[in-house]
Amino acid sequence: MSNRCVVFCVLLAGFCFISWKHSLIGPLHESNRQKQEQVRRVQQHQHNDKTSDYAESVIKPRQSVLLQQRMERYHRMTGETWKLSQGFPVGGEEDQMCGDADADENPNQGARRRRKLLQTVTQDPVQQEVPKQKKVIVLPDEPSADTEGVVKIALRCPSGRTICRRFLKTWSSLLLLDWMMKTGYHPALYTLCTSYPRTELIAAADVSLEEAGVLTNTVLNVEEKEPSIT
């Protein structure tokens, strides 16, 4: 009987020790978990700050330079030139006209006429600049989730940000480019591609989202276009 009591006391003491140990380890684990969570949040904030700084100092300036280069190539390819006045060749028709007019006018009238003609010839031609109209992007109202033919599209941006919006499959696929431009990525520098298999989305005014291959909820990647070699 005494041996049983001894064994029981030993087991009870071991159980009490284990319970006491767990009572100490539990708060310690919780404290460590909170510290790890706090460290993770700090690292996440630092990563977000670095991403924002990189976008401001590298991505946006590079976008501006590439956009300017593409616009310059576009104007060169369209062949836009200014039409200047032809004027009169020296010693040609102008001198003949002056000689004919001098015979029928007095010296004062001739001097006045030649002075006005000289001002007209030496005056810089007036170049009428074509006003640049800034495109105002207006997207249609977002349909509700239970509307027939609605699809949810997500854009995964190079900065790591993802934005979502609902569209109707019957809408023009060009709305996706307008949406991308409104987000801050110009179609002259960026394009939309599917994730897998990677395929560049065909966007045109007469091509609907359904015809472009957007049949269900889709994730599209905003990717930088490869610079063309000129």
Answer with the one of 20, 53, 79 that is the final residue of a domain. Answer: 79
Give me the residues paired with residue 162 across strands.
156
Judged against a pLDDT cut of 90, whether residue 157 lies above it is answered with: yes
Answer with the one of 79, 105, 122 that is the final residue of a domain. Answer: 79
Answer with the one of 52, 79, 106 that is the final residue of a domain. Answer: 79
* 85 within domain boundaries: no
* More confident: 132 or 167: 167
* 99 within domain boundaries: no
Owning domain of residue 55: 1-79
* 41 within domain boundaries: yes
* More confident: 65 or 229: 65
* 1 within domain boundaries: yes
| Range among 76-85, 90-99, 141-150 with highest mean pLDDT value | 141-150
CATH number at residue 216: 3.10.20.90
- Is the peptide bond between 107 and the residue preceding it cis, with omega within 30 degrees of 0? no
- Report residue 158 CA to chain centroid gap: 10
The structural domain count of the chain equals: 2
* 124 within domain boundaries: no
Convert 168-181 to b/e letters by CB count within 10 Å (16 or more is b). Answer: bbebbbbbbbbbbe
* More confident: 87 or 172: 172
The model's pTM: 0.43
What is the token pair recorded at 68?
């300017």
Q: What are the pLDDT digits (tens) for 101-153?
A: 455 556 666 677 777 666 655 555 455 554 555 668 889 999 999 999 999 99
* 34 within domain boundaries: yes
* 111 within domain boundaries: no
